[in-house]
Amino acid sequence: MILAVAGGKGGVGKTTLAYNVAAALDAVVVDADLGMADLPGGRGPDLHDALAGAADPIETLRAGPVDIVPCGRTLAGARAADLRRLEAAVAAIERARGTVVLDCPAGRRADAGVPLAVADACLLVVSPRAFALADAIRTRELARELDAGLVGCAVNRVTEEPPTGAIADALGAPASVVPADPRVGRSVVEERPVVDTAPDSAAAAAVRELARRVPG
Amino acid sequence: MDFAWDVDREGDVSLVRCRVRNDDAVPRRVRIESRLDAPVLPPRRGGVAEEGWDEGGVTLRLAPGERRALGFAARAQPADPPVEVAEVTAVDPVERPGGSSPTDADDGAASATAAALQRLGDHRPPRDAVAGTADGMSKRGGTDDSDPQTGPNSPPDDGVESPGSSAAPASPSGEAEWFGAVDAQLEAVEARIDRAERLTDADVATATEVVAEVDGVEELSGLDERVAADATRLRALSERASALAARAEATDAPVEALERLA
């Protein structure tokens, strides 16, 4: 099972949700944001190297509370990365580890589209602002064209009651509300997924609910 | 190109349906244009116009034998014919934004990837952005020569670049590039010092010549400070470089012996 976490707009919390949903699914999370990596890096080969044909995708796995395939942080690496290798690389990780969560970049360029093309399903992240929803709708169209079925959408960092009904209607998938919680915000940098650190929190419940929507 | 159409009137709107089939053995790009006297209202999903449509019509890419049904509306009287095939061009079946295909990529399985790559813009940061960084790597295309950072040992362009200094900071080609960049810097410093030397105790004729060379005396402003700064930096660099060279010469790592033992 390959799940893409996408959203069109930057800064809505795709990486944070990808990391935490991966924790709930006991999955590997791949930092597919080739130009602006967000997940913790580390020594050793990363996704840039795998996509440049310089490393075996399995070698890029980095163990942690959630296993991560980090992405390089150099522009040269982003240029050298060949997206045509992504499908085979992700498939190799899926064969070895089961479920894979792809943290997709913002935008509608090839680096955002190819992970959706590679994925079996996608999860859209929107912030409660209207302009984020517009980007999410465009990404939903892209996902539909590329055959990544939409399993749900996350309305992230909610501080007051959002129009979930309207968002679910616009995106055509059930919307889950992920309340603003500083533990979620810190979870990626500290590598402490919220389902582990605060399993009884509303945020952890929302993450588990999103994970339950993922088939297989 | 097999082409059929049909038009309906609904109030003051004309609804046009058409069917197009590529009966050639090669993929074709087809441009179908409306002849109605109003902008095309393309099919939309969730308010977003479908790919390929614009005000005048639609551009499609059809595989050999592929058939496609289309429809649009326009606020105009029906015309006869309402649509026409404006252009048919051959499409290179392997045309991809990424250039040549990597040897180990699975072409058959990557069709969804290929479709995404074909439809979407190139994601890669512009070459100039990469060349501006310290770890600027090899380039694509035929314009490589213009780049001062491309060392003689840069890998050949095959559409797939080497992983860069992030993965192998001490790789021979990275090092060659680093030394190339240092050489380029030293040449710039040398040009400044040349100029300063010629101006030192210069007669009027030489000074005039130098000023003319650099397009006016404003260009020389700050030259003395910059050359003084160059001197300080070069002195420090030279001391460090010669110390490193001495240490390098003094080492004698028994690598061969270690390899024999391993």
What pLDDT score does B137 carry? 42
Put simply, whether A88 touches B (Cβ < 8 Å) is yes
Q: Is the pLDDT of residue B160 over 70?
A: no
What pLDDT score does B92 carry? 64
What pLDDT score does B46 carry? 67
What percent of chain A clears pLDDT 70, i.e. is strictly above it? 99
Last-in-domain residue among B90, B117, B137? B90
Least confident of A64-68, A112-116, B218-222: B218-222
Confidence of residue A4 (pLDDT cuts 50, 70, 90): very high
Asked whether the beta carbons of A51 and B141 are under 8 A apart, the reply is no
DSSP class of A151? E
Q: Is the pLDDT of residue B164 over 50?
A: no
Question: Which residues lie below 8 Å from residue B261, measured CB to CB, with a gap of 6+?
Answer: none
What pLDDT score does B132 carry? 54
Least confident of A97-101, A115-119, B57-61, B198-202: B198-202
B55 versus A211: the higher-pLDDT residue is: A211
* Average pLDDT, integer, range A36-63: 91
Last-in-domain residue among B90, B124, B153? B90
Q: Return d(Cα B28, Cα B217) in angstroms, integer.
A: 61
Q: Search chain B and give the residue with CA nearest A55.
A: B163
- CATH code, domain with A112: 3.40.50.300
Q: Return d(Cα A4, Cα B242) in angstroms, integer.
A: 54
Q: Quote the number of domains for chain A.
A: 1
Contacts with A141 from chain B: Cβ below 8 Å: 45-46, 48
Least confident of A177-186, A191-200, B22-31, B126-135: B126-135
Mean pLDDT of chain B: 74
Q: Do B110 and A170 touch (CB under 8 A)?
A: no
Least confident of A13-27, B119-133, B179-193: B119-133
What pLDDT score does B233 carry? 86
Question: Across A26-30, B105-109, B160-164, which has the greatest mean pLDDT?
Answer: A26-30
* Average pLDDT, integer, range A51-68: 93
Q: Return d(Cα A185, Cα B61) in angstroms, integer.
A: 44
Residue in B104, B112, B124 closest to A53 by CB? B104
Residues 150-179 of A with CB under 8 A from B: 170, 172
What pLDDT score does B142 carry? 40
- CATH code, domain with B29: 2.60.40
* Average pLDDT, integer, range A99-128: 91
On whether residue B98 sits in a domain, the answer given is no
* Average pLDDT, integer, range B224-232: 86
Q: Give the strands of the sheet with B13-21, arranged side by side.
A: B2-10, B13-21, B67-74
Contacts with A6 from chain B: Cβ below 8 Å: none
On whether residue B160 sits in a domain, the answer given is no
Residue in B46, B123, B166 closest to A35 by CB? B123
B172 versus B163: the higher-pLDDT residue is: B172
Phi, psi of B261 (to 5 degrees): -75, -30
On whether residue B221 sits in a domain, the answer given is yes
What pLDDT score does B67 carry? 87
Confidence of residue B154 (pLDDT cuts 50, 70, 90): very low
Put simply, whether A84 touches B (Cβ < 8 Å) is yes
What pLDDT score does A11 carry? 82
Q: Quote the number of domains for chain B.
A: 2
Q: Do B167 and A116 touch (CB under 8 A)?
A: no
Task: Show the domain range for A195.
Answer: 2-213
What pLDDT score does B162 carry? 44
Q: Is the pLDDT of residue B222 over 50?
A: yes
A157 versus B128: the higher-pLDDT residue is: A157
How many Å separate Cα B36 from the centre of its chain? 40
Q: Which of A136, A33, A123, A127 lies closest to A81 in space, CA to CA?
A: A33
Question: Across A56-70, B3-17, B31-45, B213-227, which has the greatest mean pLDDT?
Answer: A56-70
What pLDDT score does A121 carry? 92
Q: Is the pLDDT of residue A79 over 50?
A: yes
Task: Show the domain range for B256.
Answer: 167-262
Phi, psi of A84 (to 5 degrees): -70, -15
Q: Return d(Cα A24, Cα A66) in angstroms, integer.
A: 9
Among B48, B53, B94, B120, most A C-beta atoms within 10 A, so best to mutate, is B120
What pLDDT score does B152 carry? 44
What pLDDT score does B171 carry? 55
Count, in order, helices (H) and strands (E) of chain B: 6, 8
Residue in B98, B106, B166 closest to A74 by CB? B166
What pLDDT score does B140 carry? 40
Q: Is the pLDDT of residue A29 over 90?
A: yes
A42 versus A5: the higher-pLDDT residue is: A5
Pairing of strands B2-10, A28-31: unpaired
On whether residue B215 sits in a domain, the answer given is yes
On whether residue B130 sits in a domain, the answer given is no
Last-in-domain residue among B36, B62, B90? B90
